[in-house]
């Protein structure tokens, strides 16, 4: 907002927005729902204005979003986690049946002081002299996360995937016998017959590409090359899906403006 | 004290989590391990408080230096106003009793929900929808079919995009897309997931055993 012209345009846009809202409300719209709709529409238009160029409205909206998102996250965590899991149990003594430690609900209740102390130690990061104490709570969080990650990732991403891949030969035999229902919604049995071996070989070759303990030469090199082709198909599919997801989000916003806000399209 | 205690805490917490996953027979060990998992969630709750405090500190510091001062004030006002409304009225669509409003305003439209629905949601959705323009222009500038791999990536992306538009069934792109998504795409994702899982598991093990210590900071 450096030049008077830009300032004038900015003030004009704000006046236009406010005037248009009151114009709409004066024709029978209810105040609070209409106001919400109009605020949402203004926010949408302000963000879209960035497509022309960076401007103070967009910058303000950007900062509004950061403030709101942080506040929403904090409040959500307070009411969904700290209140039911900590405050209600420790301060209000509202324990569920079966919530006990070493056979005693009281031990369970008072043991909650330990995470509270560790949580408070995290706040020592604000004070440089005792900031080192925050490492204790960080260590607890990192340790819990790491300990949880080992069995969970092995189970979800290795054993489950191996189990699903082991099922493939059985599916392949079923497909060879002409049962097109082997994959829901997939009626072309020939494509499926090609797909099953490709899926098995593709997975193995993809893993071979990630195996760097052996030089990628000879037969191993060919397999790794095929693996990178398969990986490229995966990346291409992800890219295409991401673009279309963003596009559908954009269509959603345009429909919101045209249908909900301006009422130009039939509902 | 500054180095050893965090490493011991990490080890105990990590082992407790692994034990809670494998031992689920109601013994003292398994019950205690599962409670430790709950503690982690509570500790993370305090981290949110720290995060909020940190954003306020950084924003105030920038505002004092005169860096985008009006916008920083907007950020702080939005942050505090929303937090106040959230603490006062709760997070549900209808206002609920919280310790701050002493049970007033039962079953009324919640302003916190109003802010989320009418400001935060459209801002977020439009911000992400803008990416379609940048992702497309970046792809147009960056994608050149210089190798077989780049050609495969580009062809797949185009087919997947074509497969999701209304005329896809007329040109047969929907069937090809469906096949790509369930056959080569699954093969690729499966290989990536397995590789990433092995990486995560080995890194986690290094952290629990105290071999990887970078999370403790520079002077550890």
pLDDT tens digits for range B129-184: 999 999 989 888 888 888 999 999 999 999 999 999 999 889 888 888 988 998 89
Position B38 scores a pLDDT of 83
Residue from B4, B56, B123 whose CB has the most chain A CBs within 10 Å, to mutate: B123
- B94 in helix, strand or coil? strand
Domain count, chain A: 2
Asked whether residue A25 falls in the same domain as residue A101, the answer is yes
Q: Could you give the CA distance from residue A249 to residue B132 in angstroms, rounded to a whole number?
A: 9
Contacts of A158 in chain B (CB under 8 A): 194, 197-198
Asked whether residue A75 falls in the same domain as residue A188, the answer is no
pLDDT tens digits for range B104-136: 555 556 788 888 888 999 999 999 999 999 998
Q: What number is the average pLDDT over the span A123-135?
A: 88
Asked whether residue A193 falls in the same domain as residue A120, the answer is no
Contact B149 A229 (CB under 8 A): yes
- A139 in helix, strand or coil? helix
Distances (CA, A) of A151 to A11, A59, B110: 58, 44, 41
> Residue A145 domain-assigned?
no
Asked whether residue A17 falls in the same domain as residue A132, the answer is yes
Range of the domain at A232: 168-261
Contact B156 A233 (CB under 8 A): yes
Q: 């510091």: which residue's tokens?
A: B61
Distances (CA, A) of A13 to A8, A10, A18: 9, 5, 9
Q: Predicted ipTM? A: 0.83
Q: What number is the average pLDDT over the span B72-76?
A: 95
Position A240 scores a pLDDT of 94
**Lowest pLDDT segment from A182-186, B88-92, B195-199:** A182-186
B179 touches chain A (CB under 8 A): yes
Contact A40 B193 (CB under 8 A): no
- Chains A–B, number of C-beta pairs less than 8 Å apart: 414
Asked whether residue A175 falls in the same domain as residue A133, the answer is no
> Residue A147 domain-assigned?
no
Contact B55 A70 (CB under 8 A): yes
Q: End-to-end alpha-carbon separation of chain A, Å?
A: 39
Contact A151 B179 (CB under 8 A): no
Question: pLDDT higher for A254 or B100?
Answer: A254
What value, to the nearest 5°, has the Cα angle with vertex B162 and ends A233 and A226? 15
**Residues β-bridged to residue A104:** A101
pLDDT tens digits for range B28-42: 777 777 778 888 889
pLDDT tens digits for range A14-62: 777 777 666 665 555 555 567 788 889 999 999 999 998 899 999 999 9
Q: Which of B81, B41, B132 is nearest to A148 (CA)?
A: B41
Chain B nearest-CA distance from A39, in A, is 6
Asked whether residue A84 falls in the same domain as residue A197, the answer is no
Contacts of B4 in chain A (CB under 8 A): none
Position A238 scores a pLDDT of 95
Asked whether residue A132 falls in the same domain as residue A180, the answer is no
Q: What number is the average pLDDT over the span B36-56?
A: 88
A188 pLDDT tier (thresholds 50, 70, 90)? low
Q: What number is the average pLDDT over the span A229-239?
A: 95
Position B220 scores a pLDDT of 46
Contact B191 A203 (CB under 8 A): yes
B153: closest chain A residue by CA: A236
B110 touches chain A (CB under 8 A): no
pLDDT tens digits for range A144-162: 999 999 999 999 999 999 9
The contacts of residue A239 (CB under 8 Å, 6+ apart) are B139, B153, B157, B160
């Amino acid at each position: 907002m450096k030049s008077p012209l830009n300032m004038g345009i900015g003030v004009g846009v704000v006046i236009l927005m406010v005037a248009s809202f009151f114009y709409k409300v004066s024709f029978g719209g209810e105040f609070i729902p209409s106001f919400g709709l109009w605020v949402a529409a203004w926010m949408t238009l302000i963000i879209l204005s960035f497509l022309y160029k960076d401007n103070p409205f967009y910058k303000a909206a950007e900062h509004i979003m950061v403030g709101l998102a942080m506040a929403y996250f904090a409040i959500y965590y307070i009411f969904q986690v700290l209140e039911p899991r900590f405050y209600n149990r420790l301060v209000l003594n509202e324990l569920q049946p079966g919530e006990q430690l070493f056979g005693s609900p009281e031990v369970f209740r008072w043991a909650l002081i330990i995470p509270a102390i560790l949580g408070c130690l995290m706040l020592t990061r604000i004070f440089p002299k005792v900031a080192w104490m925050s490492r204790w709570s960080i260590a607890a969080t990192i340790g819990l996360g790491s300990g949880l990650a080992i069995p969970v990732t092995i189970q979800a991403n290795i054993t489950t995937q191996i189990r699903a891949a082991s099922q493939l030969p059985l599916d392949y035999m079923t497909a060879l016998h002409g049962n097109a229902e082997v994959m829901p919604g997939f009626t072309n049995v020939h494509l499926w017959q090609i797909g099953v071996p490709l899926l098995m070989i593709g997975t193995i070759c993809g893993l071979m590409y990630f195996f760097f303990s052996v030089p990628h030469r000879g037969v191993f090199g060919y397999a790794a090359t095929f693996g990178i082709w398969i990986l490229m198909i995966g990346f291409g599919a992800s890219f295409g899906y991401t673009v279309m997801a963003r596009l559908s989000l954009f269509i959603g916003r345009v429909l919101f403006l045209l249908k909900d806000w301006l009422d130009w399209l039939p509902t | 004290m500054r180095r050893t205690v965090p490493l011991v805490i990490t080890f105990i917490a990590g082992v407790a989590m692994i034990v809670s996953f494998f031992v689920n027979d109601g013994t003292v060990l398994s019950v205690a391990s599962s409670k430790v998992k709950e503690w982690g969630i509570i500790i993370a709750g305090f981290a949110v408080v720290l995060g909020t405090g940190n954003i306020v500190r950084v924003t105030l510091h920038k505002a004092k230096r005169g860096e985008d001062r009006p916008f920083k004030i907007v950020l702080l006002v939005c942050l505090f106003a929303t937090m106040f409304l959230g603490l006062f009225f709760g997070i549900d669509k209808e206002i609920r009793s919280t310790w701050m409003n002493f049970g007033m305003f039962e079953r009324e439209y919640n302003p916190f929900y109003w802010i989320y629905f009418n400001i935060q949601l459209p801002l977020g959705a439009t911000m992400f929808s803008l990416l379609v323009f940048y992702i497309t222009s970046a792809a147009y500038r960056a994608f050149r079919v210089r190798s077989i791999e780049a050609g495969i990536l580009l062809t797949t992306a185009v087919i997947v995009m074509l497969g999701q538009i209304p005329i896809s069934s007329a040109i047969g792109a929907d069937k090809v897309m469906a096949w790509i998504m369930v056959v080569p795409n699954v093969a690729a994702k499966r290989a990536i997931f397995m590789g990433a899982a092995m990486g995560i598991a080995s890194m986690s093990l290094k952290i629990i055993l105290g071999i990887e210590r970078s999370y403790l900071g520079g002077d550890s």
